Structure 1
Amino acid sequence: MNSRLDAQPHRIVVVGGGAGGLELATKLGDRLADKGRAIVTLVDRNRTHLWKPLLHEVAAGSMDIHAHQLDYLAQARWHHFTFAVGALSGLDRKAKQVIVSAVRDDEDQEILPERRIPYDTLVLAIGSESNDFGTPGVREHAFTIDQAWDANLFHRRLVNACFHANFASSSGDGASQPRGRVLHIAIVGAGATGVELAAELHNTTRVLATYGLENFNPEKQIRISVIEAGPRVLAGLPEHIAEGTVRVLKDLGVDVLINEKVIEVTEEVVKTASGREIPAEFTVWAAGIRCAQVLKDIDGLETNRVNQVVVQPTLLATRDENIFAIGDCAAAAWTDGRLLPPRAQTAHQQATHVLKMIQRRMAGKPLTAFRYRDFGSLVSLGNYDTVGQLMGFISSEKFRVEGWLAKLFYISLYRQHIWALHGFWRMALDTLARLIRSQTDPKVKLH
């Protein structure tokens, strides 16, 4: 095997340009492709990248996707890899080829046909999406914020509804909606995405009203509910973080409903198993995760009930020594029978590990097990608070952080991602430029 690898560049295909996939493709391009040792290809169904933990800010309008999106083609040019647009549609393990679906435009005209991309090493990093658990009405009446466009669409619809409510109140035109009509927003799922979105929406709707909506009063006309099927919010995080989060949300007037399993979503209400009907002109589904259906037993790979690829301690798939899986789409064992959590820090650490493992494979060296380091958890509640827990870097102690210090750590997570993609100096210049621009830009996206 080594003689063949030495004779031609190693073909590495990374499917999925999320936090882990894009960081890995960037580092592989810089370290291997730039030196002619490998041909690196990144495959993604979208043409631009946005760090997924920021999507709730896009949905709330506190972040403009156009200011933060990164073009895959530009990143590929800067870092010596190739970008192929298209969704993963299949896998031919025998031929060692990834099958990429055809790409069509908004008018359903084919731009690119279905393609097959050969590989010597494949990395699956396609992330996850919300799990509707087959709940009636979710697909028809609820928004998800799994993709940047979905989050942006929700924001646009909400802004339009606020404009409409403002006009109805100013004109007294109650034909289409009553004067002073209340807009109800229901967020299903009280994980990090759900609670962060609730706090951001509380802030941005109030800021939006200051931009000329004199007859729209968010304090009276916006009602936000967070609905959770489990016994508490932020089930995967420490109790004190959950308690602090609920305290802040209730102070903001957000209704936090626990032990309320949603059984149906309609155009106007969310129905729960207890018989409650929560009014909701806007429903955001942020409950649970699953991976794309295409991964389910894909060409014989072992997958679990939410379509994650089951991996060995080295992050290689259990049934193929040429395929790695990282991030949300990888079912990697952790402790006490649990899987590694679907967090950006997990994908970041796994990308770093797989980079080393690919280099070891190419050198004919044995692979080593991945070791996850939990650096803690942080939940940002907009401008109101940030709460979390950091793991000790020297000891095993856990440090509770809140307020401005926690917010600083939270912001640094995104800066670390930018550093991984562009290097320190570009990250520093980008940070400075955004600080300057924030002094003149609107505080909320107005369209």
Structure 2
Amino acid sequence: MHRFIVVGGGAGGLELATRLGDRYAPKKNKGDARAQVMLVDRYPTHIWKPLLHEVAAGSMDPFTQELEYAAQARWHGFEFQQGELTALDRAARRITLSSVADEDGAELLPQRELEYDTLVIAIGSTTHFFGVQGASEYSIALDTVHQAERFRKRLIAACIRAEYQAHEPVESGLDASASSEPRIQVAIVGGGATGVELSAELRNTAQVLSAYGLHKLDPRHDIGIVLIEAGARILPALPERVSTATTELLVKLGVKLMTGETVSEVAPGLVRTASGKTVRADLTVWAAGIKAPAVLSQLDGLAVNRQGQLIVRNTLQTETDDNIFALGDCAACAWAGTDGNVPPRAQAAHQQASFLLKALAARVDGGALPQFAYRDFGSLVSLGHFSAVGNLMGGVIGGSMLIEGLFARFMYMSLYRLHIAALHGYARMVLDTVAHWLRRTTLPRVKLH
């Protein structure tokens, strides 16, 4: 039997493993039992990474949205192994997984070796700190649920602490309420989609925390949000009119924008820029860029580019080894008709997963592999329940169209629902949507603890 191993349970990797499992699982005499499918990930659960800014702001409870890999494997006919990819032996077609420990440090699973016939690497990306002094030590990235939850808890603690301390200046004869400075200031480094979406979600969080009495601070005056971008405008990867519309909306929400400012240092309580400016920051989030995981450049001679991504051909096979494929953020795939590569977006990972389902079936059957062609359907940026902005592209509309408001918000929410449909089917997606709506009717809009 042909042995498929998919390393990485992100949007693309999990969708591919699920659909391969459905195709080759022998259960109910419907599957084609000529192949075995295994998914590998270092975590036991999956959450759609574009939602992590909502987890950080408290708008989403991750424990109601997480999907357990073991359960998905049982439902869709593949096997799950927890562990982190640490080594590759291309000659023996074997990968090595790290040991897994529990919360107390006791070993749950030992280091293991797994053999494959076809290996698909989809381990995504990590935050790029660009060597900025203090960035990794004193700022919080949003790569994992743990990091997002850490930021959320620190924000709530800062609000409670600031309200208590607000009464102290009164005793010394100073009127704290007259100060023009916010009592709490959050600095977000990076004006891409993650930074922009987080800034809007945080404004909503500040209002909800105040409404529920968790603090009595003015959600607009006392909680400041500063978005720092090195480029001339926010959302530099998107069309300028999307950036302009988003800028106007953020300014209305009271978000301070600092464009053309490169961060040179992050220290406790402050951020310094290369132009000499100092920004007070009770909490700092780093969302300035991504890079490929370091392990990729250590994998038995696989070719990588300057960003550490695996170089793949238009079949998504690695340049070095025909038996190894890569997709998503960790793959450098040329974008036909442009001078660059396919952008690191969820829609690209989804398209590549759908492509590989057909390509790997052809590989099992001994046929020729097709060639991947990326189609850009546009981009959407959520500004929480306030609005959404984006551009739609494609042959149906004959070019590019700017959208914003309720329609854009609906389109943004649909992206996640399509991901759920890819994992569970449309019937279960509808049930999940209804269940989510029912939960929201009995819960606050923001997680309060």
1:55 aligns with 52
- Cα offsets for 1:140-193 (capped at 9, x unmatched): 100000111111111011111112222333687989xx9667111100000000
- Partner of 2:110 in structure 1? 113
Q: How far apart are 1:400 and its partner, in Å?
A: 1.9
Q: Distance in 2 between matches of 1:219 and 1:174?
A: 25
For residues 379-427 of structure 1, what are the alpha-carbon distances to aligned partners after superposition, in whole Å with 9 as ceiling and x for unaligned? 1111222111111343532222111111111111000000000001000
Range moving further from structure 2, 234-243 or 293-302: 293-302
Contact 2:201 2:384 in 1 (8 A): yes
Tell me, in whole angstroms, the C-alpha distance in 2 between the residues paired with 1:226 and 1:432: 35
Alignment of 1:16-415 (within 5 A): 16-34=8-26, 35=31, 36-169=33-166, 182-213=183-214, 215-334=216-335, 335-394=337-396, 396-415=398-417
Mark the CA change 1:318 to 1:387 in structure 2 (over 3 Å): closer, same or farther.
same
Question: Partners in 2 of 1:220 and 1:408 — Cα distance?
Answer: 30
2:199 is aligned with what amino acid?
A
Change (3 A) 1:174 1:352: farther
Q: Please tell me whether the aligned partners of residues 96 and 118 of structure 1 are also in contact (alpha carbons under 8 angstroms).
A: yes
Distance in 2 of aligned mates of 1:254 and 1:189: 14
1:238 CA displacement: 0.6
Distance 1:72 1:160 in 2: 32
Q: Distance in 2 between matches of 1:425 and 1:209?
A: 38
Provide the residue aligned with 2:418 in structure 1: 416
Question: In 2, Cα distance between the equivalents of 1:64 and 1:172?
Answer: 36
Is the contact made by 1:333 and 1:340 (CA closer than 8 Å) also made in structure 2? yes
CA distance 1:214–1:156, shift in 2 (3 Å): closer
Output the TM-score relative to the length of structure 2: 0.94
Query: One-letter code of the match for 2:126?
Result: E
Q: Is this contact kept in 2: 1:168–1:179, CA < 8 A?
A: no
Identity, in percent, stands at: 51
SS in 1 for 2:166: helix
SS in 2 for 1:39: strand
Counterpart residue identity of residue 227, structure 1? I
Give the Cα–Cα distance (whole angstroms) in 1 for the partners of residues 326 and 378 of structure 2: 23
1:168/1:174 contact within 8 Å kept: no
Unaligned runs of 5+ in 1: 1-8
Moved more, 72-81 or 208-217: 208-217
Give secondary structure in 1 for the equivalent of 2:373.
coil
Judged with a 3 Å threshold, the aligned counterparts in structure 2 of structure 1 residues 174 and 287 are, in CA distance, closer, same or farther, namely farther
CA-atom RMSD, angstroms? 1.6
**Contact map agreement 1:191 1:286 (CA 8 A) in 2:** yes
Q: In the alignment, residue 405 of structure 1 is paired with which amino acid?
A: F
Equivalents in 2 of 1:295, 1:379: separation in Å? 30
Quote the residue 1:5 is aligned against. none
CA displacement at 1:203 relative to structure 2: 0.8
| Aligned-partner Cα distance in 1 for 2:81–2:432 | 27
- Paired residue type of 2:113: R
Q: Is the 8 A contact 2:120 2:326 kept in 1?
A: yes
Q: Distance in 1 between matches of 2:176 and 2:90?
A: 61
What runs of 5+ residues in structure 2 fail to find an aligned partner? none
Secondary structure in structure 2 of the residue aligned to 1:296 = helix
Query: What is the number of equivalent residue pairs in this alignment?
Result: 437
SS in 1 for 2:300: helix
**Alignment partners' CA distance in 1, 2:171 and 2:338:** 58
